[in-house]
Structure 1
């Protein structure tokens, strides 16, 4: 079975985006600071990758305040979960092909 490159989603080529989607796929939502701490990335780096996933409509963003502090929550959309699952399946098929 030959794997076509079209099966891979360019949005997940970066390891940070892959990590973000991994976290959001198994959690209802995650806030910015918790993601930053978990992934050990800078504010700017995380923000740019979140923006890219939001542009693809793979994640949704909800901004609110907790007391006087801003809080931004991120969730994987159904479209994002489906795209991520397809991407992971393509990776699994590629690995199986190598055996």
Structure 2
């Protein structure tokens, strides 16, 4: 099954919420891909920095991530971090049992 097409190539590590939605930063945007593999743009910044780090899914759907030397925090409609062995493992969706 194919998900949405993505532009750019610098991608943060991923985090998945309890509903199976994955959130990450790519090409100057905070993106979410739901369990049905539909893409959603949550925020666009207009620049695409090269150094992206981990994505943290905090309480009440807040997302924190590092871009170069800054830490950005966004309020989102996401749920809490998934309670399973793979909420952000391996920095990709491969092997996630929810998508298998």
| TM-score (normalised: structure 1) | 0.25
Task: Flag the structure with more relative contact order, 1 or 2, with Cα contacts below 8 A and sequence separation at least 6.
Answer: 1
| TM-score (normalised: structure 2) | 0.25
Larger Rg: 1
